[in-house]
Structure 1
Amino acid sequence: MEPLFPSPYFRGLILVTALGFMALEYGLGRLVHRETHDWRESAATLGVAVVQNLIRLVEAGIVAVPFAFVYQHRLFDFSATSAPAMLGLFLGSEFLYYWQHRASHRIRWMWATHRVHHSPTKFNLTAAIRLGWTGNISGNFLFFLPLVWIGFHPFAVVAMLGVNLTYQFFIHTELAPRLGPLEFALNTPTHHRVHHASNEPCLDKNYGGILIIFDRLFGTFAHAPAQEPLRYGLVGGKRSFNPVRIALGEWIAMLHDVRKAVGARAKFRALFGPPGA
């Protein structure tokens, strides 16, 4: 889950709403005697989130340039008031988000950013806002340029991704029950817990944003293992409470591996091969 450049008003509204729901989740967890939070981890997450929001504000104008350029060369014009067009934008953004998210797990250059989001060892609403500082360096925005090129206004694309981001906030919890028939089509807390789990059967599964249908179509869907509890955090990773180390640790490790690698092919693999390869 990585945002592009939602407006400051939208981000402020999201922050206030998020803090309220985080407090509610913490209270419910205490009420049912569940250890849903680690205060040190949550404090580190808030540190990461503050810097991430400041960086996005600075980057917004820069990232807007390629979107504006592509929109000037669009193939068609789709109205933001047309229901069929908005349905197409929703499905298109979900499809591209699936591939962007999947690439973020399989390409180390992108994983260096996304790894931050998978580093918490407690799965809760606070963990939802632990997002990397380097999403635009990783190239996340490039995946959504085709939507602008075919004729959707950049603001419409960003708004739809904002809806995706908002929805995903609420599925980062262990306290939500299964949602019955909705589990087939929607990415629910049940499915997203699997995505964040570090159990072997759960790795690189359930990439969807709002929908889970593309995971079902492309073979990346998984249920939680029946005989073992879900564990969260990075496989083989060391937990840190330092926001800078959390946000930049994989970049430092990756560049170190590039320096050690012998030959152009090995250096390329260190940058763009699968994480851990």
Structure 2
Amino acid sequence: MQKTLTFLAPLFVAASLALPVAAQDEVKADTVVATVNGTDITLGHMIIARATLPEQYQQLPPEVLFKGILDQLVQQTALAQSFEGQLPSRVIMSIENERRQLVAGEVIEKNMAAEVTEEALNEAYEETYGSAGPTDEFNAAHILVETEEEAQAIIAEVEAGADFAEVAKEKSTGPSGPNGGSLGWFGPGMMVPEFETAVVALDVGAVSEPVQTQFGWHVIKLTDKRLKDAPALETVKAELETQIRQIRVQQSIEEITAAADVDRAAAEGIDPAILTNLGLLE
């Protein structure tokens, strides 16, 4: 199979070399930075090459990246020009897949970038929060242990006057133990069902019986409770806009695909395992 030229070699050559800098107002994406046998390499080609580098390479100094990327593109262009004969099918199909992916991505990007109207935003807010009244929020602490017997012993200790937070610091195996078992404020759906059910049943200041969840056995203390109103539109605007855009994109994908003349008959009867057979591309 085809191997990609390494980017490492040209990067670490004379990183401290001074490079001529063109005036910024003269530089454009189509500015030619090199030619190879008459084929132009532009600044735009270099910018795209940098954007597709692994993150660790993108952190290198600009003067290192500039020379390394330009060297790489010059080498690739010269090598591509030296190729003789017909391109292997794997290369042709890779180019076709890459083009298909990039063009489809542009369609999605344009759809995502389209303006979200105030009307759509208000409708989404009303649908999500309009009929929702105030919801209960809970502030609780817990002590997590491995067995029910340990949980019962902790309850007895707290009922005898021991400070719940101090017992949590000493005996809880959960990550909140060092903080006195405090879980802070949380709302419906944020805890596993068994834990939430036990919390809802407690009065403020009360301590639960042992509660078993997938994590072990809990002793829970409800420290406070409050009603939380639905958030104001402005506080969830960004979240709703993202949600609207995602739904709009998905709908667009489904509509465009449904409108296309698609025939999958040729795929029927093909063993899916054939996808691992790279030899077909040779």
TM-score by length of 1: 0.21
Higher helix share: 1
Higher strand share: 2
Structure with larger Rg: 2
Point out which structure has higher relative CO (alpha carbons under 8 A, 6+ apart).
Answer: 1
TM-score by length of 2: 0.20
